[in-house]
Amino acid sequence: MKKRVYLCALLPALLFARVASAQPYPVMNMIADRVIQKYQHSSCEQLWKKKGKPKTAEEKNAIEMLRGDPQMRAAFIDRIAAPIANKMFECGLIP
């Protein structure tokens, strides 16, 4: 009975450790989520209007961070590529 109690107490810690190790770039994941949400929640008209506008300071900092770490950049692109490409295709932003 005591072993089950210990196992139940350890289970959340083990799950947290697994989730933490699966996300080596928590800041990048947060940025990727925001980028994906921006595309998913924007209309095609909004995306067309934003296409040529200058980047904010926050966006510039994120870009510099990704330029400085090729592995993080690859993980970021892997994460955002499909959702953004699908939205751009739907909106006629890519052929």
For 82, the token pair is 């499909």
Q: Name the residue ranges covered by the structural domains of the chain.
A: 25-91
Predicted pLDDT of residue 7? 40
Q: What is the pLDDT along the chain (95 residues), one digit of tens a residue?
A: 554 544 444 445 444 444 444 568 898 999 999 999 999 999 999 988 887 888 889 889 999 999 999 999 999 999 999 999 999 899 888 87
Predicted pLDDT of residue 23? 67
55 φ/ψ sector (left φ>0, alpha ψ -120 to 50, else beta): beta
Per-residue DSSP letters for 17-71? HHHHHH-S-HHHHHHHHHHHHHHHHS-HHHHHHHTTSPPPHHHHHHHHHHHH-HH
Which pTM value belongs to this model? 0.67
